[in-house]
Amino acid sequence: MGDGYVGARTPRREDARLLTGRARYVGNVRLPGQAYAHVIRSPIAHGRLLGCDAKGAWSAEGVLDVIVPSDAAGLRLPCVNLAPGQRLTGYPVLDETIRYAGQPLALVVARTPEAARDAADLVDLELAELPAVVGVERAAAEDAPLLHPDLGTNVVTDFRLGDDDCAAVIEAAPHVVEMTFRMGRVSPHPIEPRGVVADWSGDELTVHISTQAPHHVREHLAEALGLSHDRVRVIAGDTGGGFGAKEHVYPDETLVCLAATRLGRPVAWTEAPGDRLLATLPARAAVHRARLALDHDGRFLALETDVLADLGAHPSNAGASTAAVTATMLPGPYRFERAAVRVRAVVTTTTPTGSYRGFGQPEGTLTRERLIDEAARRLGVDPVELRLRNLLGPDELPCVTRVHQRYDSGDYPRALRTLRDLVEPVVKDDGRRRGIGWSCHVESTGMGPSDDLRAIGVQAGGYETAVLRMEQDASVVVSSGVVGMGQGIETALAQLAADRVGVPLERVRVVLGDTAATPYSSVGSIASRALTLGGGALVQAAARLRDKLVAIAAHRLEAAQEDLEIAGDAVRVKGDPQASVPLRELATSAWRGWDLPPGMPPGLEERVSYDPPGYTYAYGAHAAAVAVDPETGAVEVERYWAVNDAGVLVNPAVVEGQIHGGVAQGLGQALTEDIGYTEEGQPIIDYLLPTTREVPDIQVVLLETPSPITPGGMKGVGEAGTIGPPAAVANAVAAALPEIAGRVTDVPLTPAVVWSLLRDR
């Protein structure tokens, strides 16, 4: 029977092929006559490409093509997410002005990967170097070298949100905590690197690519290459992780597609492991100066923040919108009388920053939650009690925050109280100092509605479309524009369809990731929206399909529709199993147009586009227990707890897996991950991802407050795990080391950072 699939811990159906070597990754694509590309990247961070002599490469054995800037003149990619007043809205695929080390300068194509790599060394680059500008504060200074001289500044956007009188309220408050926070630049690290195989047939460009948004890629490739959209087909296959880094097409991937059209044969490229820190867009790099004001009773009066966001060399696809999300989510789950944010996004001679799991929300949460803990320390108040005193209650929702976010539903105090009951201090006598840190957050999910996105500068629609079809044998096919990238969406959509139509789960197939076979999706699987939007559309389509089946059966059985139910493999009269029609018989009749109610069209296929009336807002509370070695500064997270509410849980096991993975990434940001740069703008290739040694036992508790917005009540959970850990870990370190608590402001908290704080106290 179909009933009961929603809420079940159904094993992920994707795993069978992923674990047995049958996954459809780009690296597995082999086409007849396939050639291989190698990207030539800039060795300097800032300067001009005065010459690019490819004669040596052309003479090398096996070389088929060399693309230099003059061959790609006019090819540009757009910024999809624009912040208010953003002055750079696109960027060239190849540019003779160099603004970061690793910037693509040329592409070599040869019959083998080795030949392409060897020929690349024969391309003679003539470079004129200019001063590098590393660090957002340095780039924002008036005397900084300019990356885009025509702008007259390195500040790409400067805007404000919130209350004009916020500063006045803070100045008059009895208690004010003021701190400056710095977040390291972190790199998405999907298990499948970026890769593309492009094939030009002379009439159609077929692109196999590791992406979160195949329709997004299709339209941007078509526009860049001057092709009509119907002549570009994009196939995502099994995307081995994305984390935001694969939500758009990159310049190097575009060059591979250009090469395929020039050669008329398939061209393949995979990002080299050593290029990831140079070429795949990082995120998070920001500086926040913030003030929290409280009254005599410890109630929050105002929060004011100045956000300096590092865009890297130019705004990427994400533009400066990551910082805008930081601004809109800074108040979190708390009650503030006033709030104000100033956002400045600045270009530097580093790799452009882009989307990464959490999209600006971990940064805002770190700032807010560290301020709250520091306020609790100074006032001598328990940090949990201070939060409970100021959290919005369920009777206050829905509500609109001081920065214009309409929270939908939830019980924020319940999440924190549940967390408090879980937490147990780790007791050991090993010379290390121990502390527990807390953080609470609200997570913006869903990314819609379309008109709202347009109003805030997003060049995309916020809706999703589901096509649901029952075949003549009563099997069911779901087609959606969202993409599977390891998050379990294929399983979750199948559960929804089986549950809502009323058919066995094994009779449902889900089709994703192919622009020729799936409905249009403007942005794909990003922003914790795949199930919220794709699932919302599917719920509505399933209701229509079910109603049509019941209507046909009612016509056949001469019964009222309200007296019928779908049970097992038939539609039957409630309470009378003998009065029934097999689903297969109904489906066959529907597709043949036999014995249908008057005026009903043949077929059993429903197409629904769901444009949400608003965003959804998930939320959570996190706690970390740490041990700090005062001799070395080393921080160990010994236990971690997370309470999360993502609305209706279609598959709790998938949700828990998402939170576990997100927490691991958040711990990396808190403790180890940071792309450092030399003064000359060269990335320091010493990047430490968390391992099993750094990720402790994680206990997750799931709450369930249905969203009043989404059909089916779901909210997103894809980014939830990443938002809380940096704040929780930093607060735990401050609790363990009260003598330096007020200076625990920057992440990652590496041993060197903590040791220096202790030494300089």
Q: How far is CA 41 from the centre of its chain?
A: 27
For residue 669, give the H/E element and its range.
Answer: helix 652-671
pLDDT 10s digits, 415-447 = 999 999 999 999 999 999 999 999 999 999 998
* Chain mean pLDDT for the chain: 96
Question: DSSP letter string over 158-197?
Answer: EEEEE-TTHHHHHHH-SEEEEEEEEE--B----SSPPEEE
pLDDT 10s digits, 60-97 = 999 999 999 999 999 999 999 999 999 999 999 999 99
Judge whether 288 and 363 are in contact, CB under 8 Å. yes
591 and 679 co-located in one domain: no
How far apart are alpha carbons 497 and 511 in whole angstroms? 13
Tokens read off for 43: 């060795």
What CATH code is carried by the domain that includes residue 594?
Answer: 3.30.365.10
410 and 307 co-located in one domain: yes
Q: Which of 122, 616, 146 is nearest to 398 (CA)?
A: 616
Q: Which of 569, 588, 610 is a domain's end point? A: 610
Q: Which of 231, 258, 279 is a domain's end point? A: 279
Q: Is the pLDDT of residue 20 over 80?
A: yes
pLDDT of residue 2: 45
pLDDT 10s digits, 186-204 = 999 999 999 999 999 999 9
pLDDT of residue 61: 97
What CATH code is carried by the domain that includes residue 270?
Answer: 3.90.1170.50
Judge whether 322 and 309 are in contact, CB under 8 Å. yes
Q: How far is CA 716 from CA 87, 381, 403, 476, 615, in A?
A: 31, 33, 21, 25, 10
Judge whether 260 and 205 are in contact, CB under 8 Å. yes
pLDDT of residue 646: 98
pLDDT tier at 629, thresholds 50, 70, 90 = very high
pLDDT tier at 273, thresholds 50, 70, 90 = confident
Query: Which one-letter amino acid corresponds to residue 254?
Result: T
pLDDT of residue 448: 81
Q: Which domain holds residue 526?
A: 15-21+463-610
How far apart are alpha carbons 745 and 756 in whole angstroms? 13
Q: Does a structural domain hold residue 173? A: no
Judge whether 297 and 333 are in contact, CB under 8 Å. no
Query: Which one-letter amino acid corresponds to residue 592?
Result: R
269 and 298 co-located in one domain: no
515 and 423 co-located in one domain: no
275 CB neighbour count, 10 Å cutoff = 16
516 and 439 co-located in one domain: no
Which is it for strands 267-270 and 464-470: parallel, antiparallel or unpaired?
Answer: unpaired
Judge whether 81 and 232 are in contact, CB under 8 Å. no
Measured at the CA of 260, the angle between CA 254 and CA 265, to 5 degrees, comes to: 160
Average pLDDT (228-252) is 96
How much of the chain, in percent, has pLDDT values that exceed 90? 97
411 and 306 co-located in one domain: yes
Q: Which of 191, 189, 241, 349 is nearest to 673 (CA)?
A: 189
Q: Of the given ranges (2-16, 520-534, 710-724), which has the lowest mean pLDDT?
A: 2-16
620 and 738 co-located in one domain: yes
470 and 441 co-located in one domain: no
Average pLDDT (503-510) is 96
pLDDT 10s digits, 127-164 = 999 999 999 999 999 999 999 999 999 999 999 999 99
pLDDT of residue 45: 98
pLDDT of residue 739: 97
Average pLDDT (102-122) is 98
Q: Does a structural domain hold residue 594? A: yes
Q: Which of 594, 610, 626 is a domain's end point? A: 610
DSSP category for residue 361: H
Q: Does a structural domain hold residue 418? A: yes
473 and 572 co-located in one domain: yes
Judge whether 540 and 610 are in contact, CB under 8 Å. yes
641 and 590 co-located in one domain: no
pLDDT 10s digits, 445-478 = 998 899 999 999 999 999 999 999 999 999 999 9
Cα dihedral: 77, 81, 84, 87 (round 10): -10
How far apart are alpha carbons 539 and 707 in whole angstroms? 14
pLDDT 10s digits, 347-383 = 999 999 999 999 999 999 999 999 999 999 999 999 9
pLDDT tier at 319, thresholds 50, 70, 90 = confident
Query: How long a stretch of residues is the chain?
Result: 761
Average pLDDT (254-264) is 98
Q: Does a structural domain hold residue 178? A: no
Q: Is the pLDDT of residue 16 over 50?
A: yes
Judge whether 573 and 428 are in contact, CB under 8 Å. no
pLDDT 10s digits, 213-225 = 999 999 999 999 9
pLDDT tier at 686, thresholds 50, 70, 90 = confident
pLDDT of residue 1: 39
Q: Does a structural domain hold residue 185? A: no
pLDDT 10s digits, 532-580 = 999 999 999 999 999 999 999 999 999 999 999 998 899 999 988 889 9
Buried b / exposed e across 692-710, counting CB within 10 Å, b at 16+? eebbbebebbbbebbbebb
How far apart, in Å, do the first and last CA atoms of the chain sit?
Answer: 66
491 and 444 co-located in one domain: no
User: Total domain count for the chain?
Assistant: 3
Within 365-449, strands assigned E span: 399-400, 406-407, 433-445
pLDDT tier at 3, thresholds 50, 70, 90 = low
297 and 366 co-located in one domain: yes
Q: How far is CA 265 from the centre of its chain?
A: 33
Q: Is the pLDDT of residue 323 over 80?
A: yes
Q: Does a structural domain hold residue 26? A: no
For residue 38, give the H/E element and its range.
Answer: strand 35-41
Looking at 484-640, list the stretches that DSSP marks H as alpha helix, in order from N- to C-terminal side. 489-497, 536-557, 583-592
- At 56 the three-state DSSP class reads helix
Q: Does a structural domain hold residue 83? A: yes
Q: Does a structural domain hold residue 168? A: no
Q: Which residue has the tokens 């597609």?
A: 257
Q: How far is CA 13 from CA 49, 275, 518, in A?
A: 50, 33, 19
How much of the chain, in percent, has pLDDT values that exceed 70? 100
Looking at 306-411, list the stretches that DSSP marks H as alpha helix, in order from N- to C-terminal side. 321-329, 361-379, 383-390
